[in-house]
Amino acid sequence: MMEYNNSESNLFCGSSIIIDRKGEDSYQIHSGIKLYKIELSQYYNITDVLLKTLTPHEVQRAHRYHHIKDSKRFIICRSFLKLLIAQRNDIEISQVYFEKTENHKPYFPLDKTLFFNVSHAGDYAIIAIGNCELGVDIEYIDKHFNYADILPTVFSSEELSFVEMSNFKRQTFYKLWTRKEAIVKATGKGIDDDFSKIPVLDGAHTVPSSLINDFKKINVFSFNLNAYYVGAFAFKGDDIDFKQISFQPLPNIVELESLFKL
């Protein structure tokens, strides 16, 4: 059993609702963090155009996928990520490249104040970009997945009881699961023996600092993308006073084709 030091950290779990702010200024989660939603099927027909933004190594990676859909998803997500970073830093897309930390978390070496994370499931992908450590996870609520088999290995006894007492057990499972995934992606720990020990029920928690990679404060918020997808985003910091999010606008297909053919 892992022994913890005496240091403690704070973890807050809550929920947000998605609002449509078309025609208005987009709502940011808090200063410096933005979320983007990609409906992947809208871009399947222009992956040959998006492929031009990738490095030779990234092109090889895209071609290594056994299924065409997986290859296209990688091309779409990676090209959008590079585009958004280029726009944020006012540089050319060709200047955007990635390296990895010791725990294999990718980063942009030309701007170490920039943090990002990508998650995808089914027909959607979410990109989070900001000025603090962050993580995002989205899952399709799969009615055929037998989640009961993994419950004891990923949830605490309190969380198990919460799922069992819920009127919407499957949705509740995915809500708690995405919170844990977002947290470990933000902290860079990944899924390990401590995964089940990370508390993700609503409210404020005091936890051993080593449980969240010695971060002093992590916030995680759940959201329902629609009736079939649930997500969560986690970030380092003290700002927890919000209940609403809206996704930032993305270039349309015509704009992308014009941009990437230059």
Q: What is the 3-state secondary structure (H, E, C) of the chain?
A: CCCCCCCEEEEEEEECEECCCCCCCCCCCCCCCEEEEEEHHHHHHHHHHHHHHCCHHHHHHHHCCCCHHHHHHHHHHHHHHHHHHHHHHCCCHHHCCCEECCCCCEECCCCCCCEEEEEEECCEEEEEEECCCEEEEEEECCCCCCHHHCHHHHCCHHHHHHHHHCCCHHHHHHHHHHHHHHHHHHHCCCCCCCHHHCCCCCEEEEEEHHHHCCCCEEEEEEEECCCCEEEEEEEECCCCCCCEECCCCCCCHHHHHHHHCC
Residue 2 lies inside a defined structural domain of this protein: no
Amino acid in the structure at residue 42 = Q
Residue 1 lies inside a defined structural domain of this protein: no
Residue 104 lies inside a defined structural domain of this protein: yes
Whole-prediction pTM: 0.91
- Provide the number of structural domains found in the chain: 1
Which domain covers residue 112, as residue numbers? 8-260
Helix axis angle for 157-165 and 169-187, nearest 10°, is: 150
Q: Are 37 and 226 in contact (CB under 8 A)?
A: no
State pLDDT tens for residues 50-91.
Answer: 999 999 999 999 999 999 999 999 999 999 999 999 999 999
State pLDDT tens for residues 198-235.
Answer: 999 999 999 999 999 999 999 999 999 999 999 999 99
Under the banding of pLDDT at 50, 70 and 90, the label for residue 5 is low
Q: In this structure, what are the phi and psi dihedrals at residue 174, rounded to the nearest 5 degrees?
A: -65, -35
Residue 252 lies inside a defined structural domain of this protein: yes
Q: What is the CATH number of the domain that holds 119?
A: 3.90.470.20
Residue 3 lies inside a defined structural domain of this protein: no
Asked which of 97-111, 206-220, 237-251 is least confident by mean pLDDT, the reply is 237-251
